[in-house]
Amino acid sequence: MPITVTHQNGAVTAALSGEIDHHGAKTMMDELGELIATRLPKHLVLDLSGVTFMDSSGIAVLLRALREMNRLGGSLRVTAIPAQARRVLDAAGVGRLITLD
């Protein structure tokens, strides 16, 4: 589940890929946490276009990124959400907390 990072005008985009389940969530959380701590982005965009499967563990990954961005006073946006991941996020009402494009 590699994370590809691009940087532009103070916004950092992290493209997540592969299957996000409990098995891989902890590693992904830690990698995202390190990315946020080292780059201190004003805006973080998580691009989910490469995510082939996501369960509620993915929600925990997004909520932790949100907490860390809130602590920095920055913003978080989630884009290019595949249909399966979108259904999981909608069922959990995540759109009330995080901007989902």
Q: Is 55 helix (H, G, I), strand (E, B) or coil?
A: coil
Q: Does 1 bind other proteins (CB under 8 A)?
A: no
CA-based torsion, 14, 70, 78, 33: positive or negative: positive
Q: How far is the CB of 6 from other proteins (least distance, A)?
A: 25
Give me the sign of the Cα torsion angle 90, 50, 30, 98. Answer: negative
Q: How far is CA 38 from CA 12, 28, 41, 54, in A?
A: 11, 15, 9, 26
Q: Which of 1, 13, 17, 19 binds other proteins (CB under 8 A)?
A: 19
Site for other proteins in 53-82 (CB under 8 A): 53, 55-57, 59-61, 63-64
- Complex with other proteins: residue 6 or 70, whichever CB lies closer: 70
Which spans of this chain sit near other proteins (rule: CB under 8 A)? Answer: 19, 21-23, 25-26, 29, 53, 55-57, 59-61, 63-64, 83-84, 87-88, 91-93
